[in-house]
Amino acid sequence: MCGRFVSSSTPDELADYFGVDKVAETVLQPSTDENGGDEPPAGPRANFNVAPTQDVFAVIEHEDERHLDAFFWGLIPSWAKEAKIGSRMINARAETLPEKNAYKSSYKKRRCLIPADGFYEWQKLDPSKGKKSPKQPMFMRSADGTPLAFAGLWSVWRGPDNEQDPLRSVTIITTTPNDTMAPIHDRMPVILGQDDWATWLDRDNDDLDLLSQLLVPAPNDLLTTTPVSTQVNNVRNNGPDLIEEAERVDA
């Protein structure tokens, strides 16, 4: 599972790193000044505690160009009667993409990259206690400090009558853990290497056998893991302090 991550790179930085041709104007709009000042901060604020149903950045392909835009996190299939179904579709299991009605259409034609500067997972410290086990929040980032590229799917929803303004949404694909993640959680996001981005984004590529070969655990040396504060448990908490190393939770 991947239920919380960090998005601290600016749109310009992401556009450069991912070879984006066009950045949506909505992504570049300045965020609102919560203090009521006359000069709002330039560009979207860094988010160190991205949660489901929030807007996230995604890279998609359109007419052979790469676009960076904002999408609702929680995939809403085009046939859904209500948008709230998206809150249950923040992740999609790689093993069942071709057969799940919610995902199989997007898997064929609407694939994306979801940039992240790291992600969180909660490690059970006493699995014998089940859900009552104390949990240690862990932060995972790339060992070289570059952004991660989660494999994702996107969809467009226009309401049950096809008359509402289009709402574009995404889900993050997960797979089995690598050796680094296995002690922490039994799933991890699919993280694509740069050599695989073009294959994944190509909307003319409907070779599901080839695509499935990309949906594998990341190399064991890709990620570093750091115990962080339980402050990250509350989605209202935000800021770079959330990814700083902290004392481990007492089991």
132 pLDDT tier (thresholds 50, 70, 90): confident
Which positions are catalytic? 2, 121
- For residue 206, the SS3 value is coil
Read off the pLDDT of residues 3-37 as tens digits, 9 standing for 90 and up.
999 999 999 999 999 999 999 987 765 544 444 44
Looking at the predicted structure, is the pLDDT value of residue 40 above 50?
A: no
Instruction: Provide the 10 A C-beta neighbour count for residue 136.
Output: 19
Residue 15 host element (H or E): helix 11-17
Instruction: Provide the 10 A C-beta neighbour count for residue 131.
Output: 6
pLDDT of residue 9: 95
The CA angle 51-52-55, to the nearest 5 degrees, is: 85
Contact criterion met (CB below 8 Å) for 147 and 37: no
pLDDT of residue 18: 98
**CATH number for the domain running over 5-28+44-234:** 3.90.1680.10
Q: What is the pTM of this model?
A: 0.92
Of 45-49, 118-122, 178-182, 240-244, least confident by mean pLDDT is 45-49
Read off the pLDDT of residues 175-202 as tens digits, 9 standing for 90 and up.
999 999 999 999 999 999 999 999 999 9
pLDDT of residue 161: 86
**Which two structure tokens, joined as six digits, stand for 129?**
């206690």
